[in-house]
Structures are given as structure tokens and as C-alpha cells.
Chain A
Amino acid sequence: MSNCSTCPSSGTCSIGGKDDDGLPPGMLQCYNLNQSTAEGNLVWIETVPTADGYAIADASAEVLGKLRGYDTRLFGVLIGGNGLKGLYDAAFSFGVNTLYHVKEAALSEYHPEAYCDALADVVNRVNPAGVVLGGTARGVEIAPRLAAALAAGLVSDCVDLSMDGREMTFVKSSFGGRSVAEAVCTTFPQMATMRPGALPVPEPEAGRKGTVIYRSMKDADLKGIVRSDEAGIERPAKRATFILGSEIGEGSIAVAERIAAATGAIVMCTPALAEAGSMPSDRVFDGIADTGVLFGISGADADFVRSCVMNRMVVVSADPETNVGQSADRLIIGDTGRILAEIDRKLGS
């Protein structure tokens, strides 16, 4: 008979008592009944049209290349019509073991809601431990919707990931690359989007084989697309803008103008530089640009820089402790005059 003090049977059981969970000792630890059974990783394989069909997007290949290095099953999902059949071998060559093809002609066109539903359907069937997407324009749109549909955590814009068993740790940069954070998801599946170009594009391993499983999708949630062709839709010109700050020297302004003339960029300035009389007030930057390179930025320009909106921002400053690079994609510390002169030299001016 057991001497177990917690045994509800008062020592009359024949299996030596029960633990705090009301189970035979060690049973919960052995079977870990509360643990998710999720296993393997799943990748949405984004495709891009080419002259002779479709190709796997680099961002997806990068994710596949990273995950094939781990000893776990790798699932891929293709969404679209019959035209994607030619990509099966390419997917296998990047490490996919099982490829799901959601075959639906209507989904040859991109519809985020329908793509999300298709991916959720496959994820619920496969029950993967990780779902990773390339952080492309489409990837960043689908991933959060998919995460919400699966009630899963999502770490976006990651630059690297690692796996320990089934647990994934994601590395991401924030505040314009000025900070680096490691993040984990607290539930399965663990989801992430990877920044395009952050991982190397893998070499395909020819001859690898896998399994293809077809899925259909009835009553897809399609958008009312009025026009999807580029022709006839006026697209704003995306010229780079140089914004010269209060620390730039007189001589460097002329160099910046020369570089802009050679590259098609526009030269503007911060209010502080205009107030100093170095540039006319009608050249003060209006605060919005597609790509902006800010030269000679100092603390006097800080408030102005923070109010700027750019899809891509590079800040060049001589001050290593500058705090104006908050929103920048890249902060370059260096001598502005020498950097401009070097660009000028490379352009052969």
C-alpha cells in the first residue's frame, strides 16, 4: 500500500497513489497531455509572373531555405490555377516535403481575404508548429489576417529566426533599426513574416521529391476588382528626395545639387537651413516623399525630421548620439561632406 498523503483513495488504490493532477505519478509528464500536437512548419509560397509562366518569389525561397535547415517536416502552400503546376519541382528543390496546391482559377488574381481563408484551411488540416511568410506587400497583408483567423501570435518584419525543438525565436529590428528584439509566440502555430532580403536565397537541390495534395476552394471571398492593369492608371513618379539639414556646409550644397541632377533626385532643405539663409524658403521640404536621404541633420532639425513621412528614409549625420534617426530605415554616422564627395566621385562628375 502507498503512503502517499494526497491519495484520495486513502491508500486503497493498487497503483501506488496519484499525483497532484489526480493522475498516476509521472503520467502527465510522460504524455504531456496539455501540449499542442502541432508539428512541422508551413510556408505560403508566393508566386510572381514571368515571361513564360510563374516563378517562386525570392522572399518565399528565402524562408524555405531557412526552414529546410531544421529537422522537421516542411509544408508549402501554392494558391492559384493550373499554371502553377510548373513550380512543384522548384518547391521541392527548396526543401518542401508536402505541397498543398489550392487550385482555383479565380485565385490566379490576388484576393487577400480568399488567400487567407485558403491558408487557414490548410493550416487547420496540417496543424503546423510554425507558419512563416515572406514579408512582401502581399505577405504583410495576409499574415495578420491569418493570425487573427487562427488566434495565433505573429511577429512581423523579422530578420532571422531560430528553432529549438518546436519552439521558434524570432529576431526583429524596430525603431528604424536602432533596436533589436527577440520575440516568441505564446501559442501554436507560431507565425512570422520575414523581411525580404534578410536571409540568403538558397541554392535549389535538384532531384528532391515530395507529395502534392490538391485542395479546392468553393465560394471564395473575392474582391470587386475594377482594374488590375497598370496601363492607364497614372502612377506618381518616385524620385528620391535629398533633404539638406542645418549641419551641411555651403560647398556640400552644390555637390548635392550636382548629384541630384545626375540621378534625377530633388534637392530640398529643412526649415532650419532655410532660416539660416543657406537655401531659399521655397525649397523647404513639405514632409512627404517616397525615398528620402537626409544629409547633415542635427538636433535643430529633429522635430522636423520626426514629422516627415517616407516609405524609405536614410539619415546621414555626423553626430553619433543623434536621436533623429528614429523613423529611418538606416542611420549613417559619418562626415556628410566626405560622403557627398564620394558619391560625386562615383558618379564621375
Chain B
Amino acid sequence: MKFVVLVKEVPLAPEVDTDGTGHVVREDVPSIPDPRCMRVLDRVIGSKAEGDSVIAVAMGPPQAEATMRDCLGRGADAAYLLSDPAFAGADAYATARALAAFVTRFVPDYGLIVCGDRTADGGTSQVPATLSRMLCAPQFYHVTDLRLGNGGREAVQDYGGGLRVCRVPDGAVVSMVPSGGCGRDPADPGMSAEVTVLNRVALGLGAFSVGAKGSKTRIVSFSRPETAEAVDPAEAAGYILGVIR
């Protein structure tokens, strides 16, 4: 089975800024692979059976190639970076459209698409569901475990109020809550395997269907406090007690 794992490179918050149109500027901003995505990638690679392959894909600026090399070092069989200046300013809808075009063109025989439940930057949790609707595929959110049952692959889903187990058909999009042990370091971060970079034309997408032009939302203002203010210890203690109890 071919597993497609969606990963993302996220900017470090203190350095993040927006341009005049409200879009987050990612070029030349220090970034890291999203830890949730990498945990999920590790988990999929760890559960790989003979004959399975894992394909990592991300959309991002050219510098995200380092994250894709990291994916190859962790054991992914192939890594694709969707990168084009026209992709800049994409919201979740435009991002999912590019990913859907990638899957349709380059991995039409995929078995499962797996991704983290949210990322550290936007944390929108939108892409998996948007992508699954664009691919007319079933979706599984809040998945804490993906396992082989008697009738095939099953997902354990945690909706907060209760757990349930569902059969997962081939072609589904699975949004996983990372769990388990420690994240792995790349076995060979300096490996020479090639990252395939695909641009808008390679994906067969028009200029008005990607990036800011293909987005359905727009940020009109963005503000970040310069420094956080100190909190009264009693107030902080009350808040923390509410969290841990």
C-alpha cells in the first residue's frame, strides 16, 4: 500500500511577520519541521509492512527542501515539495487544492493519506477534510490509533465524549493525533536522495487557483504583542490548577 504523509514546515513565531496584504512572509524566516507531522510520519514509517511505501509531501518555500530531506532520512521512500512563488499566501483551501492536484497526478493509486491533526502555526485542522472532499474520499479525524482488524484496517477515533472504531477503506484521508514514544532523529540526515520539487505548471493548476489568488479567505489585520505581560501568581496558579485537574 502507498501511504502519502502530509508534512509542513512551520515558521518560528517570534520571527513571523506579514506583508502589506496580510499574508505571512515565510521566505528567509527560520522554520522547523512541524513536530506533530513528523511524529505521524515516524509512526507510519514504523508500521510499514513489506511492499508498503511512504511518500512525504509538503507545500512550502524552497527552504522547506531541508524538511523533505529530513523525511527521507527518517525512512520515507520519496519526498515531494510543492513549491512555486505563485503558491505564496495560500489558505487551507488553496493548499488542499494543490495537494489534491499532486495526489491525482502523481499518486493516483495511493492507499491512505495520513497527516497530523493540526500544525503549530495556523492550527486550523482544515486541510485533511478539505482535501478528502476534493478527492471525494472518506475522512477520519481525531484518530488515535490505526490498526489492522479482522475486517481490514480500522481507526480508533476520540471525539472527547467517547471512543469509536471505524473501518477505514482504501483511499481515505486520516488525521492522526500523535501519540506514542519519542520522536526519532533522522537515521541519515545527510543522505543524498533527491527531493522532487514540483511547481504550479507540473501540477496542472492555473494561476488563479493557487496561492493568494486561489484562496477563499484573506487576513485583513495581524498583530503580535511585543512582549507578554507578567501574570499575578495567584491568578496563574488558579489557571494551572484548572488545567491539570
Given the contacts A153-B217, A154-B216, A181-B219, A233 and B132 also touching, CB distance less than 8 Å: no
Residues of chain B with a CB closer than 8 A to A311's CB: 177
Q: Residue of A at shortest CB range from B141?
A: A141
Q: Residue of A at shortest CB range from B238?
A: A346
Q: Quick one: CB contact mask for A230-242 with B, threshold 8 Å, 1 for yes?
A: 1001011000100
A169 at the interface (CB under 8 A from B): yes
Q: Which of A258-272 contact B (CB under 8 A)?
A: 263, 265
Residues of chain A with a CB closer than 8 A to B230's CB: 320, 333-334
Whether A227 pairs with B165 at a CB distance below 8 angstroms is yes
Residues of chain B with a CB closer than 8 A to A235's CB: 158, 163
Instruction: From B126, B167, B227, give the contact of A320 (CB < 8 A).
Output: B227
Whether B160 pairs with A137 at a CB distance below 8 angstroms is yes
Given the contacts A226-B166, A287-B182, A288-B39, A334 and B231 also touching, CB distance less than 8 Å: yes
Expressed in whole angstroms, the Cα–Cα distance for A325 and B22 within the complex equals 23
Q: Quick one: CB contact mask for B91-135 with A, threshold 8 Å, 1 for yes?
A: 111001000000000000000000000001111111111101110
Whether B243 pairs with A174 at a CB distance below 8 angstroms is no
A316 at the interface (CB under 8 A from B): yes
Expressed in whole angstroms, the Cα–Cα distance for A155 and B92 within the complex equals 9
Expressed in whole angstroms, the Cα–Cα distance for A263 and B151 within the complex equals 41
Residues of chain B with a CB closer than 8 A to A320's CB: 227-230
The segment out of B10-18, B60-68, B78-86, B189-197 that lies at the interface is B10-18
Whether A153 pairs with B164 at a CB distance below 8 angstroms is no
Whether B219 pairs with A323 at a CB distance below 8 angstroms is no
Expressed in whole angstroms, the Cα–Cα distance for A212 and B164 within the complex equals 32
Whether A338 pairs with B180 at a CB distance below 8 angstroms is no
Whether B13 pairs with A309 at a CB distance below 8 angstroms is no
* Distance (whole angstroms) from the CB of A117 to the closest CB of chain B: 10
A147 at the interface (CB under 8 A from B): yes
Task: Count A interface residues, CB 8 Å.
Answer: 87
Residues of chain B with a CB closer than 8 A to A112's CB: 129, 139, 141
Given the contacts A154-B126, A233-B156, A293-B243, A184 and B218 also touching, CB distance less than 8 Å: yes
Expressed in whole angstroms, the Cα–Cα distance for A237 and B36 within the complex equals 20
Q: Quick one: CB contact mask for A311-343 with B, threshold 8 Å, 1 for yes?
A: 110101000111101110011111100110111
A208 at the interface (CB under 8 A from B): no
Q: Residue of B at shortest CB range from A263?
A: B244
Whether B12 pairs with A323 at a CB distance below 8 angstroms is yes
* Distance (whole angstroms) from the CB of A235 to the closest CB of chain B: 6
Whether B240 pairs with A174 at a CB distance below 8 angstroms is no
Q: Which of B155-197 contact A (CB under 8 A)?
A: 156, 158-167, 169, 177-183
A151 at the interface (CB under 8 A from B): yes
Instruction: Classify the interface of chain B: helix, strand, loop or mixed.
Output: mixed
Whether A332 pairs with B149 at a CB distance below 8 angstroms is no
Number of A-B contacts (CB under 8 A): 245
Residues of chain B with a CB closer than 8 A to A288's CB: 39, 178-183
* Interface size classification for chain B: 35 or more
Whether B183 pairs with A307 at a CB distance below 8 angstroms is yes
Given the contacts A225-B166, A288-B182, A179 and B222 also touching, CB distance less than 8 Å: yes
Expressed in whole angstroms, the Cα–Cα distance for A179 and B128 within the complex equals 24
Residues of chain B with a CB closer than 8 A to A122's CB: none
Whether B237 pairs with A181 at a CB distance below 8 angstroms is no
A149 at the interface (CB under 8 A from B): yes
Q: Quick one: CB contact mask for B196-216 with A, threshold 8 Å, 1 for yes?
A: 000000000000000000011
Q: Residue of A at shortest CB range from B97?
A: A148
Whether B223 pairs with A183 at a CB distance below 8 angstroms is no
Whether B236 pairs with A145 at a CB distance below 8 angstroms is no
* Distance (whole angstroms) from the CB of A47 to the closest CB of chain B: 12
Residues of chain B with a CB closer than 8 A to A176's CB: 13, 120
Whether A343 pairs with B237 at a CB distance below 8 angstroms is yes
Given the contacts A263-B245, A314-B240, A148 and B96 also touching, CB distance less than 8 Å: yes
Expressed in whole angstroms, the Cα–Cα distance for A138 and B39 within the complex equals 23
Instruction: From A137, A157, A182, A338, give the contact of B220 (CB < 8 A).
Output: A182
* Distance (whole angstroms) from the CB of A183 to the closest CB of chain B: 5
B241 at the interface (CB under 8 A from A): yes
Whether B217 pairs with A185 at a CB distance below 8 angstroms is yes
* Distance (whole angstroms) from the CB of B44 to the closest CB of chain A: 15
Residues of chain A with a CB closer than 8 A to B169's CB: 224
Residues of chain A with a CB closer than 8 A to B240's CB: 293, 314, 316, 332, 339, 343
Interface residues of B (CB under 8 A from A): 12-14, 16, 22, 32, 35-36, 39, 91-93, 96, 120-130, 132-134, 138-139, 141-142, 144, 149, 151, 154, 156, 158-167, 169, 177-183, 215-225, 227-234, 236-241, 243-245
9 contacts between A and B (CB under 8 A): A148-B134, A156-B92, A182-B222, A183-B219, A227-B165, A235-B158, A308-B35, A327-B35, A342-B236
- List 10 additional A-B contacts (Cβ < 8 Å) besides A147-B93, A154-B217: A112-B129, A148-B130, A178-B228, A288-B182, A306-B32, A325-B13, A327-B35, A333-B230, A338-B233, A339-B237
